[in-house]
Structure 1
Amino acid sequence: MDNSTLLLLLAFLVSYLRTVIFFRGNQSRKSSKLPPGPRPFPIIGNILKIGKKPHQSLSELSKTYGSIMTIKLGTITTIVISSPEMAKEVLHKHDSTFSGRTVLHILQTLDHHKVSVAFLDPSVHWKTLRRACVTKVCSSSQLDSTKNFRLKKLQDMLEYLDECCRKGDDQVLDIGEVVFTTILNSISSILFSIDLAGFASDSTREFRDAIRGVMEEAGKPNIADFFPALQVLDPQGARSRMDVYAAKLINIIDDIVGERMEGRAAKMEPKVWNDALDSFVLQMEEDKPQMGRLDTVHLFGDLLVAGVDTTSTIEWAMAELSKNPEKLEKAKKELQHYVIGKDIILEESNVSTLPFLRAVVKETLRLHPPAPLLVPHKALEDVKICGFTVPKNAQILVNIWAMGRDSAIWCNPNQFMPERFLESEIDFKGHDFELIPFGAGRRICPGLPLAFRSVHLMLASLIHQYNWKLADDLQPHEIDMEEKFGLTLKRVQPLKAIPSKVY
């Protein structure tokens, strides 16, 4: 269905509703003052001003209307935040008020939003899920105990790359695919003690396709999100496609969980796997478990999808380093200086001795945040900010992409300059609002500690032992850095290169 047909359909379906809302809205504006913003068109609001790259178009609009701005996306009132000061108001000072979630229509698939740590509004159940996620998977002690799982998957990646090097210049690799496979297997090993993907195998394609399908559908604009009255019609078929992908993903995870539960029940002395699933199954066997099988399966689904999101950060970092050879050389020299041995596998503890590598990751997250508008927040009640009223149920978008490109915050903001962080205490752990790629406050990403370890170690391994020749004789200045907006900020053109051993 093309855009013009959709707009005509919308006009017939919601014109009456829009008229009622218009007159009621005029009355409410007399007693409340929304933040400024572009004048909305009837019915569609400001949708036409958003385009395919909303993080960029909203950034441009904020230059006219300010760092707190109102836009109408169909019938949805949306407040856009575009400065560290305003982000601190929303995510720190008024954290509890803005801790609700706006849930996309397709993410309601299989009632996922009712059991998801990512999309539930704050509640006792949400706190239980989040606590389980942190203590059983992402705490420092748990990450230390599962370190060998991650190192084994890293070794698998290096062995695969070594084999590609032996085959010579005809082995063009999609770096994003290599990283995706490694991270997916790393997380599935932590959760289940099994691999869910293979570098050169079709045996796991069903799961790979399911998780990629979920990510792609979640990243596409869906007109039913702008006009909730249309959700029952699913005019673009987005919900139907998501239902298929999500069912495959959840069913595979549920089978893994069910098999472990049956195995434990069938043995007098069940094997100790020392993975997250064991911990969750033991908890489910209690008399009054706080989490059931459904909660566990959907939590694992959230962790897998969120975990592979870090693929984009590593691919962007490799693209920026390839485009800036002098920065790549500086990172290599740091690794050669601090790491002893030619073929040594880096340890997570090495990261603390690599300040330039850490600066590269920060600079990549500044320029290419995984979720450029964060996961949408929702106002749970009316609240005043800087003299403006943010109404209850308004959607809140925090444009961290715009903040990362703001010349009032950063010198030469569009340039890749890791050195800016060498003399700076700014970090991305939720306290410095100039750089909050994982959010801040009570809705900060609970997987941040795992992402921190995985991104640094994998990036260091890719550049320490290998040189990368761009495919098709591409020169560094010719690398396409165009962005594709979605669930994560991806590259339009995958980064493809040929590896060769450094030593």
Structure 2
Amino acid sequence: MPRSRRLVSTALFVPVVVISSSEAAEAVLRTHDLECCSRPKTFGTRKLSYGFKDISFSPYGAYWREMRKIAVIELFSLKKVQSFRYIREEEVDFVVKNLTESCLKQSSVDLSKTFFSLTASIIGRVALGQNFHESGFIIDQERIKTLVTDAVEALGTFTFSDIFQGGVGRFVDLMFQRHKKINKIFKELDAFYQHVIDDHLKPEGRKNPDIVSLMLDMIDKHENADSFKLNMDNLKAILMNMFLGGIDTSSIIMIWAMTELVRNPRVMKKAQENIRTILGAKRERITEDDLNKVDYLKLIIKETFRLHPPVPFIVPRETMSHIKIKGYDIPPRTQIQINVWTIGRDPKRWTDPEDFIPERFTNSSVDFRGQHFDLLPFGSGRRMCPAMSMAVATVELGLMNLLYFFDWGLPNGMEIGEIDMEEFGNLTIVKKLPLQLVPLRRC
């Protein structure tokens, strides 16, 4: 092939490198963390992040550093996460109450719906100051689920103009109306965010210490600043990160954890006996004070993250300069896709990688907090998820309550081998069929 033709053909495409080993992931996320710290710009992320004014998708630079600082210090600090503890506990109590009623009826429940409702309710109160259980709320939970699903799909979908540079990509997008669908989702989300903000701008609107109230106070504080200023688009972009990322991923990991526990009765029995023995048999309520008392549940959550990371390819990075990874030259403006799903099932790193064995983490230093590159559900380095501690607290508290207060059975004589494990999605991977289980009185 003539040299000139080869240059023209490669210029039409956006270069992508897929990382599928922990060694290469460590090279990207630790050795070359800064050089790989930017984000590719896609139509979906540009639109839904209000022109990259958020934390997750904005490119590396002074703006991102300021927003990251706000997230780490103001929004998701350990003190701030703990201040919302009462919300997580109240919402989990509400789930336990509803499941108890189903238990009395001996009826099956859709745990996929239950977990989504739980995480949506927590995020609704923490971020928006809105209680989804109240009848006057602007949008019902069924519509919220559809909207979150559509928006996450839009964020994870590359349009043709993202991949094929020039007029060809734009023409194909126009023909298939890709941009039209994303614009429609953005319009509905924007109206939702605006309604929440308008409520907070009323005289009585900032009665709760939620994220919207905090951000509005920060906008007022930065109004006369000479350099960095916040506006309503910044606030809406942060809401997008929390609303879409916070609801979806936490519910997904709880669904997969309960699915694996039901498929592995030995692990389920061991987990319940461990929790009930340590906490005692007559507890009326489980709180976050109990989370660090039960070690085996933490092993179960690690193993679930290994087999079923909610985001199998962590949000792509983009190189800002030339780097060398495992002997390969990677030029600037190359997308780096890290396949944490494959890394978590690598037979070179894990014994019996397809099996659900929480005990593999006993006496192991491997954790999911970004320092061990065999397990990366939240990423690592500068671009690591800043809201990890809030997500983990929700998952631990929800699962501990369900395992303490209830035994679990399969509906209608279903056998364990009949549980469907098919996955579905693009940016996030969910269990395709809802998880239906029967809550039973604790033995």
**Fold match (TM-score > 0.5):** yes
Equivalence for 2:129 = 193
- Cα distance in 2 for partners of 1:164, 1:74 equals 57
**Counterparts of 1:78 and 1:21, CA distance in 2:** 21
- For residues 51-200 of structure 1, the aligned pairs below 5 Å read 75-109=13-47, 112-169=50-107, 172-196=108-132
Correspondence list, 1:24-39, <5 A = 24=7
- Is 1:250–1:301's contact at 8 Å kept on the other side of the alignment? no
Q: Which residue of the partner structure matches residue 351 of structure 1?
A: 291
1:345 and 1:21 map into 2 onto residues whose CA distance is 71
Q: Tell me the distance in 2 between the aligned counterparts of 1:124 and 1:420.
A: 42
Aligned-pair CA distance for 1:107: 2.3
| Other-structure match for 2:324 | 384
Partner of 2:153: 216
Alpha-carbon distance in structure 1 between the residues aligned to 2:272 and 2:49: 47
The residue aligned with 1:321 is 261
**Quick one: distance in 1 between partners of 2:311 and 2:117?**
21
Percent identity, aligned pairs only, is 25
Partners of 1:221 and 1:280 lie apart in 2 by 31
Give secondary structure in 2 for the equivalent of 1:102. Answer: coil
Cα distance change on mapping 1:405 and 1:203 into 2, 3 Å: closer
Alpha-carbon displacement from aligned partner over 1:216-268 (angstroms, at most 9, x marks no partner): 3334564443324313542433332222222212221222112212326xxxx
Q: Distance in 2 between matches of 1:445 and 1:194?
A: 24
* Distance in 1 between residues matched to 2:194 and 2:2, nearest whole Å: 47
Answer yes or no: is the 8 Å Cα contact 2:110–2:436 preserved in 1.
Answer: yes
Structure 1 position 275 matched with structure 2 position 210: yes
Aligned AA for 2:306? Answer: R
Q: Which runs of 5+ in 1 are unaligned?
A: 1-17, 26-42, 44-71, 265-269
- DSSP 3-state at the match of 2:375: coil
Q: Report the 3-state secondary structure (helix = DSSP H, G, I; strand = E; otherwise coil) of the residue aligned with 2:50.
A: helix
Letter in 1 for 2:153: E
* Aligned mates of 1:471, 1:222 — CA distance in 2: 41
Cα drift, residue 493 of structure 1: 2.0
| Structure 2 unmatched runs, 5+ | none
Deviates more, 1:338-347 or 1:138-147: 338-347
1:333-392: CA deviation from partner (whole Å, max 9, x where unpaired): 111011135353222232212111000000010011111111111111111233321011
- SS of the residue corresponding to residue 328 of structure 1 reads helix
Match of 1:251 among 183, 187, 191: 191
Aligned length: 433
Contact persistence 1:197–1:208 (CA under 8 A) = no
| Corresponding letter in the other structure for 1:181 | S
Counterparts of 1:497 and 1:219, CA distance in 2: 30
Question: Could you tell me which amino acid in structure 1 is paired with residue 343 of structure 2?
Answer: M
- CA shift, 1:277, in A, is 2.2
Deviates more, 1:206-215 or 1:72-81: 72-81
Q: CA RMSD of the aligned region, Å?
A: 2.5
CA gap 1:288/1:203 in 2 versus in 1, 3 angstroms: same
1:430: Cα distance to partner?
Answer: 0.4
Shift of 1:131: 2.1
TM normalised by structure 1 equals 0.80
Rounded Cα–Cα distance in structure 2 between residues aligned with 1:197 and 1:236: 38
Aligned to 2:179: 239
